[in-house]
Amino acid sequence: MPKLPIARLVAIVFALGFSILAGCAQYARRQDPKTEIGFLQIDPDIKLRRMVVHNARPKGVVLFLHGFPETLYAWKEIAPDLGRDYEVHAFDWPGFGLSSRPSVDKFSYAPKDYARVLKAYIEKAGIDKSRLVIYATDIGSLPALLLALEDPELARSIIVGDFAPFNRPQYLQENLQNLKSKPSSDLVRAALNKNRDEILENAFRRGLPKDQQFDLPQEFKDDMLRGWSQGDMTSADAFYHYYSNFTRDQDYFELNLARLKTPVKVIWGEKDFYIDKEMGAEFAKKANLEFHLLPDLGHYPHLQSPRRTIEEVRAAFVSRQLSRAD
């Protein structure tokens, strides 16, 4: 049997080695990324429970901001898919889930205070803002936009939806509007606390036709229930305090809207029961932003159609790449 030349033999060995390495890399990419849930202290009074999906070589960073009455588990089924390409973060707002609930003399739970929490989280987590896409819904949206007024380089892109950027009573569901001032706010607060179980079971499907209603993962429902009451404050109490300062922060945002320079996309569930789609349309028009109305979806598009949320986030990275190339 003829002997192979040394050079030929070396080439074969190297080719085989590279093939093995490539196969290992491909196998690793197919594996679900590692999801870690833990805590991050952002200041002496506030420790946030957070979720991070790690990626050894992320193409960017995604940060999800939840609404009422959610916790970070709202993103738990979405995050691993995106984690195959990106590093993914989510946390419980103070007053929700297992994050801290300082007394109102230390933390007012206003949108502006949540904006400061968001800023501290990004800094403490060491997130590169130039590679960051923020996806915020409901009470998470205005804090992100308030912070963007102060820091135009907050993120490469922000996606917001189903929230109330302006003080427009005609677009808000009655109970939400009643949360904005006393004495009606005290009555709504008491009702929210009394009807906790009904809210956690039905709030996400309200306003949707029967054939478009959906069920939540049991793990998510259990987490909201577990995190509803911690110490002397419930998630409903935190929501109440948020709304007690809401008009002030809405007015500030609208007055300073011209300072919003961070790229923002507005999405909205066509069948949002709580905040009319006209709110989103007015905001997008006034700020000259891209507006996407999501057919057949309600107030919680990320729960009703997780695939659509994943597509929105991926598109945000692609569109920014294209705009930079231009």
Residue-wise pLDDT tens digits, 212-246:
999 999 999 999 999 999 999 999 999 999 999 99
Q: What is the band of 319 on the pLDDT scale with cuts at 50, 70, 90?
A: confident
- What the block records as the tokens of 287 is 């700020």
pLDDT of 323: 38
Give the CA distances from residue 277 to residues 10, 173, 196, 299, in Å, rounded to whole numbers and listed in that order: 66, 12, 26, 10
Q: How far from each other are the two terminal CA atoms of the chain, in whole angstroms?
A: 60
Q: What is the mean pLDDT of residues 38-52?
A: 98
- What the block records as the tokens of 326 is 């231009």
The mean-pLDDT minimum among 111-115, 181-185, 309-313, 315-319 falls in 315-319
pLDDT of 115: 98
Mean residue pLDDT of the chain comes to 91
- In this predicted structure, the answer to whether residue 10 has a pLDDT above a threshold of 60 is no
d(CA 98, CA 225): 11
d(CA 227, CA 225): 5
Q: Are the beta carbons of 137 and 75 closer than 8 angstroms?
A: no
Q: What is the band of 31 on the pLDDT scale with cuts at 50, 70, 90?
A: low
Query: What's this model's pTM, rounded to 2 decimal places?
Result: 0.89
Give all domains of the chain, ordered by start, each with its CATH number.
36-325 (3.40.50.1820)
Q: What is the mean pLDDT of residues 128-141?
A: 98
Q: Are the beta carbons of 137 and 68 closer than 8 angstroms?
A: no
Q: What is the band of 96 on the pLDDT scale with cuts at 50, 70, 90?
A: very high
Instruction: Name the percent of the chain lying above pLDDT 90.
Output: 87
The SS3 of residue 17 is: helix
d(CA 65, CA 74): 9
Q: How many CB atoms lie within 10 A of CB 143?
A: 25
- In this predicted structure, the answer to whether residue 14 has a pLDDT above a threshold of 70 is no
Q: What is the band of 324 on the pLDDT scale with cuts at 50, 70, 90?
A: very low
